[in-house]
A and B are shown apart, each in its own frame.
Chain A
Amino acid sequence: MNNTLDTIMIFLVLTNLALLGLSRLGTCIRIVAVQGVVLGLVPLLMNNWHFEIRLAAFSAVLIVLKGIVFPRLLTKAMRDIKTLREIEPFIGYSSSIALGTALLIICMWLSSHLPLPVETISELTVPVAFFTIMSGLLLIISRKKAITQVLGYLVMENGIYTFGVTLVEHQPVLVELGILLDVFVAVFVMGITMFHINREFDHIDTDQLSNLKV
Chain B
Amino acid sequence: MIYALLLIPAIAAVLSLIIRKDLLRRLILILASVSHTVITVIAWNVETKSLMGGWIDLDKPGLLFLTITSILFSACSFYAFWYLAVESGKRKQDFEEGLFFTNEPEAIFCSCLMAFLATMTLVTVSQHLGLMWVALEATTLASAPLIYFHRHHRSLEATWKYLLICSVGIALALLGNFFMVIAASVPEVSDKSMILSSMIEQAKLLNVPWLKAAFLLFLVGYGTKMGLAPLHTWLPDAHSEAPSVVSALLSGALLNCAFLGILRSFQVCSAAGLGQFCRELLVLFGLLSMAWAAIFILGQSDYKRMLAYSSVEHIGILALGIGIGAGATFGAMLHAVNHSLTKAMLFMTAGNILAVYKTKNTKSVSGIMTVLPVTGILWIAGFLAITGMPPFGIFLSEFTIVKSMFEQGKAGIAILFLAVLALIFIGMANVFINMAHGKKSDSVNVSDRRESVISVFPPIALGFLTLITGLYIPPVLNNLLHDVAVIMGGNL
Contact = CB atoms under 8 A, between A and B. Distances in A.
Q: Do chains A and B touch in the complex (CB under 8 A)?
A: yes
Nearest to B99: A200
A168 B236 CA distance: 37
B157 A212 contact: yes
A115 B209 contact: yes
A160 B240 CA distance: 32
A114 B300 CA distance: 44
Interface in B132-172: 133-134, 137, 141, 144, 148, 151-154, 156-161, 163-164, 167-168, 170-171
Interface string B94-126: 000000000000000000000000000000000
Contacts of A190: 163-164, 167
Given A117-B210, A193-B159, A200-B153, A175 B178 contact: yes
Nearest to B208: A117
A96 B20 CA distance: 53
Q: Which of B170, B182, B213 has the most A CB atoms < 10 Å from its CB?
A: B182
A121 B164 CA distance: 33
Nearest to B162: A193
B241 interface: yes
The number of chain B residues touching the other chain, given as a range, is 35 or more
Interface in A177-203: 177-178, 181-182, 185-186, 189-190, 193, 196-197, 200-201
Contact of B134 (A149, A177, A201): A177
A189 B154 contact: no
A166 B291 CA distance: 41
Nearest to A209: B157
B404 interface: no
A153 B164 contact: yes
Contact of A181 (B134, B159, B185, B300): B134
Given A133-B175, A168-B182, A211 B153 contact: yes
B168 A193 contact: no
A201 B153 contact: yes
B209 A156 contact: no
A55 to B, nearest CB: 18
A149 B163 CA distance: 12
A178 B133 contact: yes
Contacts, number: 116
B237 interface: yes
B186 interface: yes
Q: Which of A115, A177, A211 has the most B CB atoms < 10 Å from its CB?
A: A211
A130 B75 CA distance: 44
Contacts of B174: 160, 164, 178, 182
A174 interface: yes
A76 to B, nearest CB: 18
Nearest to A171: B181
B129 to A, nearest CB: 9
Interface string A106-135: 000000011111100000000000000100
B296 interface: yes
Contacts of B241: 212
A211 B157 contact: yes
A211 B154 contact: yes
A175 B158 CA distance: 30
Contacts of B300: 214
Q: 6 closest A-B pairs (Cβ-Cβ)?
A: A174-B130, A117-B207, A209-B157, A117-B186, A212-B237, A186-B167
Given A163-B175, A173-B130, A212-B154, 13 more contacts: A117-B186, A133-B175, A137-B168, A153-B167, A160-B171, A167-B182, A168-B182, A177-B130, A181-B137, A186-B141, A189-B163, A190-B164, A214-B305
28 contacts: A117-B183, A117-B207, A133-B175, A146-B160, A153-B167, A153-B171, A160-B178, A163-B175, A167-B182, A168-B181, A168-B182, A169-B185, A171-B130, A174-B130, A175-B178, A178-B174, A190-B164, A190-B167, A193-B156, A193-B160, A196-B148, A196-B156, A200-B152, A200-B156, A209-B161, A211-B157, A212-B158, A214-B296
Interface of A: 113-118, 133, 137, 140, 146, 149, 153, 156-157, 160, 163-164, 167-171, 173-175, 177-178, 181-182, 185-186, 189-190, 193, 196-197, 200-201, 206, 209, 211-212, 214
